[in-house]
Structure 1
Amino acid sequence: MTELTPLQNLWLTETVRLREEHAGPLDDLEANRLARAAGGDLPGRIQRRALWLAERDGLTSALKHWLQGARLALLLMVLLACVTGAGMAFSTLGDGTRAVNIFWALGTLLGVNLILLLSWLFGLLFAGEHGAALGRLWLWLSEKFARDAKAAQLPPALLVLLQRHKLNRWAIGTLVNGLWLLIMLSALSMLVLMMAARRYDFIWESTLFGADFFSALTDALAVIPNALGLSAPRVDMIRVTLDTDYNRELVRQSWAIWLVGAVLIYGVLPRLALMLFCRWRWKRGRDRLRLDLNLPGYAQLRERLMPTSERLGITDPEPAQLHRVESTVGEHASDGALLVAIELDDQHLWPPTLPKNVSNAGILDSRESRNKLLEQLSRFPPARLAIACDPRRSPDRGSLALIAELARNAAATRVWLLQAPPGQGLDAERLGDWHIALQQLELPFADCAPLNWLEHGHD
């Protein structure tokens, strides 16, 4: 199973819970057995069960596709943020043929950013959900880029998980402030680049306000830049900015430094501080995420995963289709050889004469014998397993599911299709059904006893 982060484990566990809540219980006999065999506390067993089901049903691969789509969506939004910031700077300064209204330029570069910043802070304090539109846009783009139908189940589960622990505001805050930080950095970089490549004249114009108002405004905005060593236009410069006989070079440089400092201090630094704060709160909350065992979907698993006694006689419905057999046992974790038969009648002489190093697991003809062997195999998986079947019986879903479950608990498996007893023949059509079913399971099969393979590991 692919190595996942703790958050992704919880995410998949929540996805499985929501699936079962809306569509009913899944076929989880093997998942429950493996979770019980692994041991540990109840949250650990619930996660192991959910991760096994997610791997079987394709949710783990869907999560990988969704994460790839999420990265592409984030990259697209980053590029758009950079282009937006550069466009803001270009529209503010123009091509240098006309003088730049310094206060109009400042409002263009900082106005929208400050309004949305205050709006986000207000929503964070009083609503907790402001900025969700940008988060929904990212989720929508992620789903489109993932192009996996099963990935559609993942975003709702993530939102439910984060909202339950109130982490969605910090995740969205990191995204929103991070994108605005890129916009302001892009605008600042383009601003400096354009000023370095072209000569711009700065003016102030107003019908309602005079030089005294702009002097006061400039002084107020220059308090922090002055404290950091950035110069600002003096009062006399502001008053004579429109005078063409004044030292234009000195005025031009003073306004340029003041504009760059204002964008840096009032545009970039607040977004940087808020992004880092949201990121810190997000990581802190993420590390504290735990399963809520009081949820109905988890509470009902307690008896199945940590039973006080063995419950018999309950059979879950068979799955609609069989899943591909992939052994979960490594070669170094297995040992020995084992022969087992499924539902043989008295007409077969059983067991055959076996080599000394091959064990006989008997005939599985009841739920108790099946569960007993599966529990044994989960603790002591064999290196080689041969499963004997009577091809006179129909290859029903129950028998094939049992074969697949046995095969997943052995390093290597072969199916032995027994010959018919003397005086009886095999139905060619039924035998063909067995061949097709075992080929779908990708298990090797033969009509002769694989005793040499069981003893030596080769034919």
Structure 2
Amino acid sequence: MTELNTLWLTETIRLREEHAGPLEDLEANRLARSAGGDLPSRIQRRALWLAERDGLAAALKHWLQGARLALLVLTVLAVISGAGLAFAAMGDGPHPVNVFWALGSLLGLNLILLLSWALGLVFAGEHGASLGRLWLWLSEKLARDAKAAQLAPALLLLLQRQKLNRWALGVLVNSLWLLAMLSALVILLMLMATRRYGFVWETTILGADTFIAVTQALGALPALFGFSVPTEEMIRASGDAALNIESARQAWAAWLVGVLLVYGVVPRLLLALFCLWRWKTGQTALRLDLNLPGYAQLRERLMPTSERLGVSDAAPEQLHRVASGVTEQQSDGALLVAIELDDQRPWPPHLPKNVSNAGILDSRESRHKLLEQLSRFPPARLAIACDPRRSPDRGSLALIAELARSASATRVWLLQAPPGEALDAERLGDWHVALQQLELPFADCAPMNWLETGHD
């Protein structure tokens, strides 16, 4: 995952917690603390874990796929629009082409929007907003992921802090117009290569000298690149009718192509490259704003001045699938732990020499202490003893899942009822269903052989 995507997901998590309240993040905070590093790296590590757990990382992939499809749609529209400009400028062929109407058709809208973009860049910094909103809207629609709706606002807020949104949209706007101008240029050359066009200019209130001056002024810069400019006699003669002279037609055609290339294609190319350069250099300055309330509140939890146990967060609405992040190379030994056993049951049972006893977890302090220990020294095998006479509430199941993620392999031991008591079949079935959803193996007999040797 790129650095930009990491910052993006971190900002998305911050916005989500700002609007919907704090997430259940005990395990995320613990893993971020155990990984070490400075505060920004811990905040990002916490956010990535929460994003993976809650599906935001997958939503980001869907959003990026939608963004690429939206960009493809806009690219096709730009190419078609450019071709349409060329066809509109050159007409149907039999009638002569009015050179200044053709020039207005090819460059008029482009130059107006280019001026609007430049003024917005200088005075407001929100240029290209309409095209940018269209792209964001298409990206969200094509992503087809409800969670992706939180990503676009987070991206805009992240980029606005370094004013990178103007350069990102600048790359988009100028690149699309560059494609439109290139499409118009290609179609223009194809039409001129396959049809014979005559060129005229017409006026009622302006004199011929005005058109001569304008034509020569516009052709001065293209002339530096080898494009020919009609002579004064050709320009003056074209005011009455299209000259049926091959050299005149070629001169006007070269002048029109040169003006389109120099004043239409080249500016958009240079601006697109400039915006891309500013975007690339600006990305290196992207940082988390640690002064924001959402990040400032995490400082004590991720970089505590003293260890504080007993933090209580709301239970998650649903349990998440267990996927251990610990490999056999990272772990060692075997451990037995029990959850909330009463005093009537003798504990611990007789354990083999290589199996450690983690005791009974019956308080927040004991849970946090063990989880912190497991984050530093994960066991290769972990057995979790549970009393199936208790209901499998969300808190207990979440603790089991968190413990299981801290070991290479985990088994749940559903203890037998004490002598003279019987287990509730319905409640035992609830335990079976819950553990199956967690995809954890379970049994009603002690897994001592497995703990000792690694196999039954």
Q: Is the TM-score greater than 0.5?
A: yes
What residue identity is the alignment partner of 1:188? L
Matched, 1:117 2:114: yes
The residue that corresponds to 1:216 in the other structure is 213
The residue that corresponds to 1:137 in the other structure is 134
Q: Is the 8 A contact 2:335 2:383 kept in 1?
A: yes
2:42 to 42, 45, 50: 45
What residue identity is the alignment partner of 2:382? L
* Structure 2 counterparts to residues 43-442 of structure 1, below 5 A: 43-241=40-238, 248-442=245-439
Secondary structure of 1:331's counterpart equals coil
What residue identity is the alignment partner of 1:37? S
**Greater displacement, 238-247 / 416-425:** 238-247
The residue that corresponds to 2:443 in the other structure is 446
Secondary structure of 2:286's counterpart equals coil
CA distance in 2, matches of 1:170, 1:409: 44
Secondary structure of 1:76's counterpart equals helix
- CA shift at 1:200, angstroms? 1.4
- CA shift at 1:243, angstroms? 6.9
- CA shift at 1:358, angstroms? 2.5
- CA shift at 1:357, angstroms? 2.9
CA distance in 2, matches of 1:226, 1:171: 34
CA distance in 2, matches of 1:159, 1:328: 33
Taking a change above 3 Å as real, the CA distance of residues 184 and 296 of structure 1, as seen in their structure-2 partners, is same
TM-score, length of structure 2 as denominator length: 0.97
Q: CA RMSD in A?
A: 1.5
- Please list the CA deviations of residues 246-273 of structure 1 after superposition, one character each: whole Å capped at 9, or x if unmatched: 6611111111111111100000010111
The residue that corresponds to 2:26 in the other structure is 29
CA distance in 1, matches of 2:109, 2:6: 39
- CA shift at 1:242, angstroms? 5.8
Secondary structure of 1:165's counterpart equals coil
Where does structure 1 lack aligned partners over 5 or more consecutive residues? Answer: none
**Greater displacement, 234-243 / 410-419:** 234-243
Secondary structure of 2:329's counterpart equals helix
Give the length in aligned residue pairs: 456
CA distance in 2, matches of 1:331, 1:139: 44
What residue identity is the alignment partner of 1:212? D
What residue identity is the alignment partner of 1:392? R
- CA shift at 1:382, angstroms? 1.8
Q: Is the 8 A contact 2:198 2:242 kept in 1?
A: no
- Please list the CA deviations of residues 12-53 of structure 1 after superposition, one character each: whole Å capped at 9, or x if unmatched: 111111111111111111111111111111111111111111
- CA shift at 1:164, angstroms? 2.1
CA distance in 2, matches of 1:449, 1:245: 101
Matched, 1:8 2:5: yes
Structure 1 moving runs of 4+ over 4 Å: 242-247
CA distance in 2, matches of 1:243, 1:134: 43
CA distance in 2, matches of 1:272, 1:79: 18
